[in-house]
Amino acid sequence: MRCIESFRYRAILFVTLLQINNVVHSKITEKDLSKSILDFTIGFSRHHSSPDIVGRRSLVWSPLSLYEAMLMVGEGADGNTFNELQHITHLQNKESYREWSLSFLNDVKKNFKDIQRYNISLNIANRLYADNDFNLDDEFNKNLEKYYQSQLELINFDKAQLSADHINQWISNQTNNIIKNVLKASDIHPMTRLMIVNALHFKAPWAKAFDSDLTTKENFTLSTGRLIQLQTMHLVSHFSYYYDKKHKSQWINIPYKGNNRYVLTLALPDKDIELRVLEKKLLRNSKILSNIFNSLDNRTNVNTRVQLSLPKFRIESSLDFVQHFKKYYNVKIPFDADKADFSLMSSGSARDLFISKIIHKAVIDVDEAGTEAAAVTVVQMLSRSGMFLHEDPVQLTFSRPFLFYLRDINIKVPLFIGRFTGMSMP
Ligand SMILES: *[C@@H]1O[C@H](CO)[C@@H](O)[C@H](O)[C@H]1NC(C)=O
Ligand SMILES: *[C@@H]1O[C@H](CO)[C@@H](O)[C@H](O)[C@H]1NC(C)=O
Ligand SMILES: *[C@@H]1O[C@H](CO)[C@@H](O)[C@H](O)[C@H]1NC(C)=O
Ligand SMILES: *[C@@H]1O[C@H](CO)[C@@H](O)[C@H](O)[C@H]1NC(C)=O
């Protein structure tokens, strides 16, 4: 799990997100909604420290998937355990948890027809697996069903291989077979009582596809200075493009089909700036990213003609968030067998459960046609007894490491974020 290290200071990037513009059925104001995720971001940035070698590796993760799973976990937490989770969720009470989740899920539903019309696939699903022998609290389950559209399934965790296979199959199905075999038999502790799972799948064609006949092998300079050759796609078109003088970086929104709602935002630092230096600057203050996104997303601005060269890439990352939350959020109680209070999850109100694992896996695949990405977050709860005309095009060549943010620009939710460095995970 060396990726955790890299995460240390990349994750922060994690965007500035979430100014929800058109939230339905919610008392939560736009400002409140964006605030919680913004604060989540800042939480990470406080802790980035040492220059890490591992940070040179490509990375992808899904803020949305992780956030949704942590809200479900919070539903079942009480006392100090719930209070500590505020460091992660930045929401103060369960009403806010529920409103956040419902607002998001309702927006996805409302958007469904558009999504289908443009051959976009966006699936987000929550599921609760409970051991047969566990006295699940009925109200906890009803709240998950009502506010998180979660479904319950009973399972026998004593049979480690069978239950791993079974959950893996659901995850695979929900993610269009992109994420397979997340859980191994050895991940299923015999004292597992609950597994809280979020699965997310996104697939969309570009608004304007790259012509695969134009794809050629091009040089790509790794941060180490070494030259490698990558299959690189080429396209000349008009895009929302922005050169950020202050941070010496070029930014572009590459839109997917459908009302310009989903975009892949890419950031390329100038030649003399290392990617991690840019990342660090962006993270210093969450306003920086949100200002850049706001100017990119502003539809009244005139698009720029860009000659775009972008490598095809596929990134797959696995992260263990228990370590991350402990180390950088100073959140400990939910993971402490003796102190955790998830009594709202069990009918006997017994303080028997604690979080033993938060497994997060994400994949992104970018090619001439579009993007497919998926993520899953599995939280294991154990019992303690166990962007006109003919101006010259701007040259934008992604021939060195860059950042990406797959975003819903209507509601400012980051679906996936990461970096491509040309170096894969070990
Ligand atoms: C959606 O996919 C179908 C089948 O692949 C295709 O015929 C149709 O043209 C696509 N629609 C759009 C808007 O891309
Ligand atoms: C896979 O998902 C589809 C729709 O989401 C569902 O109809 C089907 O039953 C699922 N299959 C399995 C094996 O879960
Ligand atoms: C790639 O880099 C090599 C070595 O610097 C150089 O000789 C070659 O011309 C470059 N190829 C392209 C397509 O720029
Ligand atoms: C978009 O840009 C226009 C002109 O640059 C500006 O007047 C407007 O305030 C911007 N809108 C937003 C939402 O930032």
Measured by CA distance, the residue closest to atom 10 of ligand 1 is: 119
Ligand nearest to the CA of 208: 1
Task: Give Cβ neighbours of residue 122 (< 8 Å, ≥ 6 apart).
Answer: 108, 111, 115, 201, 202
Cα 394 to averaged position of ligand 3 atoms, centre (Å): 21
Shortest-distance atom of ligand 2 to CA 123: 5
Check if the beta carbon of residue 368 is closer than 8 Å to that of residue 103.
no
Ligand 1, atom nearest to 117 Cα: 13
Pocket-testing residue among 218, 219, 222, 400, ligand 3, by greatest number of atoms within 8 A of Cβ:
219
CB 42 within 8 A of CB 16: no
Q: Whose CA is nearest to atom 5 of ligand 1?
A: 119
The ligand with the least distance to the CA atom of 199 is 2
- The torsion angles phi and psi of 372, rounded to 5 degrees, stand at -125, 135
pLDDT of residue 10: 29
Q: Going residue by residue through the chain (426 aa), what tens digit of pLDDT does each one get? A: 333 333 322 222 222 222 222 333 345 554 455 556 656 655 554 444 334 444 567 888 888 899 999 999 999 999 999 999 988 888 889 999 999 999 888 888 888 888 888 999 999 999 999 999 899 999 999 999 999 999 999 999 999 999 999 999 999 999 999 999 999 999 998 889 999 999 999 999 999 999 999 999 999 999 888 999 999 999 999 999 999 999 999 999 999 998 778 999 999 999 999 888 888 787 776 678 888 888 898 877 789 999 999 999 999 988 888 887 887 778 999 999 889 999 999 987 677 899 999 999 999 999 999 999 999 999 999 987 743 444 566 788 898 888 898 988 877 777 888 889 888 755
Q: Is 121 in the pocket of ligand 2 (CB under 6 A)?
A: no
Closest CA to 74 of 91, 54, 99, 50: 91
Supply the pLDDT for residue 149.
96
- What pLDDT was estimated at residue 355? 95
On whether the CB atoms of residues 352 and 385 are closer than 8 A, the answer is yes
What phi-psi label fits residue 284: left (phi over 0), alpha (psi between -120 and 50 degrees) or beta?
Answer: alpha
Ligand in nearest proximity to the CA of 151: 2
| Residues within a 6 A CB radius of ligand 3 | 218-219, 227
Report the C-alpha gap between 226 and 409 in whole angstroms: 36
- pLDDT score of 412: 76
Look at residue 328 in the predicted model and tell me its pLDDT.
75
Asked whether 310 and 286 are in contact (CB, 8 A), the reply is: no
pLDDT for 263 equals 94
Q: How crowded is residue 394: how many other Cβ atoms within 10 Å of its Cβ?
A: 16
Q: State residue 426's pLDDT score.
A: 52
pLDDT on residue 422: 85
* Top mutation candidate among 167, 173, 176 for ligand 2, by most atoms within 8 Å of CB: 173
Amino acid occupying residue 336: D
Domains of the chain: residue spans and CATH: 3-205+313-383 (3.30.497.10), 212-312+389-407 (2.30.39.10)
Rounded Cα distance between 254 and 239, Å, is 7
Q: Which atom of ligand 1 is nearest to the CA of 258?
A: 13
The atom of ligand 3 lying closest to the CA of 229 is 1
Counting atoms of ligand 3 from 1, which one is nearest the CA of 227? 2
Q: Is 260 in the pocket of ligand 4 (CB under 6 A)?
A: no
Q: Which atom of ligand 4 is nearest to the CA of 298?
A: 1
